[in-house]
Amino acid sequence: ATTLGASAQQSGRYFGTAVAANKLSDSTYVGILNREFDMVTAENEMKIDATEPNQNQFSFGNADRIVNHAISQGKRVRGHTLAWYSQQPGWMQRMEGSALRQAMINHITQVASYYKGKIYAWDVVNEAFADGSSGGRRDSNLQRTGNDWIEVAFRTARAADPNAKLCYNDYNTDDWTHAKTQGVYRMVQDFKQRGVPIDCVGFQSHFNPQSPVPSNYQTTLQNFANLGVDVQITELDIEGSGSAQAQNYQRVTQACLAVARCAGITVWGIRDSDSWRSSGTPLLFDGSGNKKAAYTAVLDAL
């Protein structure tokens, strides 16, 4: 096939991108989006600060713009994200304890119910584990409500939208030997053993020279899949250019294709100029919307 989405579909997978609502009026951007991708993640518009700017007052306008565009174009949507330490509205940042726990539950219930039936998979909890060698949880106001906050979030999301896949999503969990990877693995293993509803693990996969594609990336994906969950590459971008960048993109694509339960790949933006990385050229299309070597390498690997 001649597009990323159609090529991914040949093996039952998807190929997605992050989308920003304020770029839906950019015809070059929308042209590439409509042509190449069959899955969409809102880059910021479904985060807590966007959807609940004031407590119990929900705001879905920008998220709806993205969801409606995706659905009208026959694309599916990944929901991102229901519970996260970052991009919380001010009112939530100032909360703690049982009030915060209740606010989290209400947020998940309201947002997942609003989008019920429209979301392929939710990143229920994002980035809850610490970097470094501890393998433990990241400190946050949510974590301080009690260690069970993650399973409560998953159970709440399942009750609100029983047909959405429920994912745990994080970064620096790509190298099998890292303590953070092991910590997330043990949590998923525990959830599966105790019947906490979890269907998928998202690997953000923001790679750069300090944090390159690890040699054991495929092993990591396979080991998580062996727990009985799908794995998804959820926010892929790779710093670099030319053939070195293309080879890294190809390796990531091949790793997903080699793991039966790797459901699909999402890149974190369309053109280099759309990237959240202020400098650099980490995406598949250049600033003018031309296909890069990395694009061809991915398409060839799919």
Instruction: Find the shortest distance in angstroms from Cβ 187 to ligand XIL.
Output: 17
Please give the single-letter amino acid code of residue 41: T
What are the residue ranges of helices labelled H in the chain?
4-9, 27-36, 48-51, 61-72, 90-93, 97-114, 149-160, 179-194, 217-225, 242-258, 293-301
What residue ranges bind ligand XIL (CB under 6 A)?
43-44, 126, 204, 235, 276
Instruction: Find the shortest distance in angstroms from Cβ 28 to ligand XIL.
Output: 19
| The residue to which tokens 């998202």 are assigned | 202
Active site residue 235: yes
Instruction: Find the shortest distance in angstroms from Cβ 272 to ligand XIL.
Output: 14
Burial of 211 per CB tally in 10 Å (0-12, 13-18, 19+) = middle
In the complex with ligand XIL, which residue's Cβ is closer, 41 or 222? 41
In the complex with ligand XIL, which residue's Cβ is closer, 126 or 222? 126
Instruction: Find the shortest distance in angstroms from Cβ 276 to ligand XIL.
Output: 3
In the complex with ligand XIL, which residue's Cβ is closer, 43 or 174? 43
In the complex with ligand XIL, which residue's Cβ is closer, 21 or 297? 21
Q: What CA–CA distance (Å, rounded) separates 271 from 288?
A: 7
- The candidate with the shortest Cα–Cα distance to 63, out of 24, 95, 7, 33, is 24
Q: What CA–CA distance (Å, rounded) separates 2 from 134?
A: 45
Q: Please identify the residue of the shown chain whose CB is closest to the bound ligand XIL.
A: 276
**What long-range pairs does 247-250 form, CB within 8 A, spacing at least 24?**
247/297, 248/207, 248/212, 248/213, 248/294, 249/284, 249/294, 249/297, 249/298, 250/297, 250/298, 250/300, 250/301
Per annotation, catalytic residue among 36, 43, 235, 239: 235
| The residue to which tokens 């609502």 are assigned | 21
Instruction: Find the shortest distance in angstroms from Cβ 22 to ligand XIL.
Output: 11
Q: Residues with catalytic annotation?
A: 235
